[in-house]
Amino acid sequence: MKKNHTIIVHLSDLHLGGAYFIPEWGERVVDVVNRIAPDLLVITGDLTTEGHVHEYEQVSSYLNRFTVKNRLVVPGNHDSRNEGYTIFEEIFHTRYPFYTNGYLTLLGVDSSQPDIDDGHVGRTNYQLITSRLAAVSPVKILAMHHHLIPIPGTGRERHIPTDAGDILKLCIDLKINLVLSGHKHLPWIWHLEKTWFITGGTATSQRLKGRSYPSFNIITIYGKRFTLKEVNVATGQTTKKLYASL
């Protein structure tokens, strides 16, 4: 029987290799994701803590436990530290992954800079975004580590991409449906024009804001509508956050 929907699991900010990574939460994420059996796993950066090779080895071992066939991974600012971006390319082959199934098109872009926490996509990549996402496609998604719009409750804004305005205009002009990001360790949703900007929390790290909790997103697309559910990794509880048009 043909499926009439697409399930995307959106993880972010795992921070393996650091003192704040909680193995119990990591186990729960694997169990829940494998049970969901999504069509696509998207990870929006900061898989490591300092970008060292031994951390990337932990990441490879950890990700091998997921049974999801289709994966799209972009680096975060922590992954690009200590020349970690070169190790990222060795493991994942590209910092600009692309996925399409004829109905859904998803492009990942690297918004990190080596040893700098600020985000930057760069003019040289605008044409890549345009060429990949300009074509008529029912659902178009952009994935990156850094958030394009400030997130409330996360303190002074410092790391938003330096060219966020240009990327926002591209999103609107290209009629991109969803922009997935991470970085701030606090889930949030913005809706600008016809684009939904969905920021994921940290899935497996104790680097939390206030009394927030580790979490990740489940996005289910039905035609031109979608649902967004948030999984509280500490408790395993799932909460429906959004049901909206694309």
Domains of the chain, each with CATH number or no CATH = 6-245 (3.60.21.10)
pLDDT over 70 (residue 175): yes
pLDDT digits (tens, 9 = 90+) for 99-127: 998 889 999 999 999 999 999 999 999 99
- The predicted model gives 188-212 an average pLDDT of 97
d(CA 108, CA 167): 13
- Mean pLDDT for the chain overall: 95
Which three-class secondary structure state does DSSP give residue 140?
A: strand
* The predicted structure's pLDDT at residue 215: 98
* The predicted structure's pLDDT at residue 4: 81
User: Minimal CA–CA distance to 215: which of 232, 196, 236?
Assistant: 232
* The predicted structure's pLDDT at residue 209: 94
Q: Place 1 in a pLDDT band, splitting at 50, 70 and 90.
A: very low
pLDDT digits (tens, 9 = 90+) for 10-66: 999 999 999 999 999 999 999 999 999 999 999 999 999 999 999 999 999 999 999
User: Minimal CA–CA distance to 233: which of 198, 187, 180?
Assistant: 187
Ramachandran quadrant class, 103 (left: phi over 0; alpha: psi -120 to 50; beta: rest): alpha
